[in-house]
Amino acid sequence: MIGKQIRLERIMNRNTGKTVIVPMDHGFTLGQIEGLLNMTKIVSEVSEGGANAIVLHKGLVRGGHRRRGRDIGLIVHLSASTSLNPDPNDKVLVCTVEEAVALGADGVSIHVNLGAANESGMIESAGQVVRDCNRWGIPLLVMIYPRGKGIDPNSPATVGHCVRVAEELGADLIKTNYTGDPSSFAKITAACSVPVLIAGGEKIGDLETLEIIRESIGAGGSGVCLGRNAFQREDPRSFIEVLYKVVHEGVEPARALRRGQ
């Protein structure tokens, strides 16, 4: 599996074993949203800020490719749904691993919602993608969340269940919700053999965002997948620079923010 190891080094920092990933797949779901209207510009900003990788749908790889400046890992997202669907939690495959390889991807990602009406279909699709990833030597990021009627999306039990399902499927990286407290999250990461990253969630303040990320890393997390909380900020590059210091250098959030001003 040397191919996976080589490609993972373009997604994870080889010195810290952690990563800062900026998903930019939101347009498929939400349309022409703020922050993702000029893909070349935003990709340049987060890459120059020090992000390790971005997540794009296949059709935006060309538009987001800058041909100059600092390099950045590319993860092609294979799953999609739209907010116009009565059930936006129903994700289907819109790209293959082979297509992603042809586009120059360093990894691929899929989205699974446990507890959703079409959970079984998403799990079945995930199994197919894992087989293809192993065949091509491509790392797989599984974005997996507890979503459904009556389900607490931050419960340690449901988040832990998500992580275990992703691990048993064969994920190389797992993105999920933070449980909200380091003690419960530490039990989840300790029981998992692959890196666990937290989702950025809705846009909140700089310091609050950085404190949550630092707390998750202290509890065994391996980094963050930060979308709207990164690309919708007034100065995405500067925020990513600060985030890099917190994740990879262990700088206290308040101190990192002061340095970045």
Cα dihedral 217, 219, 224, 228 in deg (nearest 10): -110
* Integer Cα distance of 233 and 132 in angstroms: 36
Catalytic residue annotation: 25, 145, 175
Q: Is residue 52 a contact partner of residue 73, using CB atoms and an 8 Å limit?
A: yes
Q: Is residue 81 a contact partner of residue 117, using CB atoms and an 8 Å limit?
A: no
Can you say how many angstroms the Cα of residue 155 is from the centroid of all Cα atoms in its chain?
20
- β-strand pairing of 79-80 with 73-77: unpaired
* Integer Cα distance of 15 and 143 in angstroms: 24
φ, ψ at 75 (rounded to 5°): -115, 120
Cα dihedral 78, 101, 48, 254 in deg (nearest 10): 50
* Integer Cα distance of 241 and 53 in angstroms: 14
- Integer-rounded Cα Rg, in Å, for the chain is 17
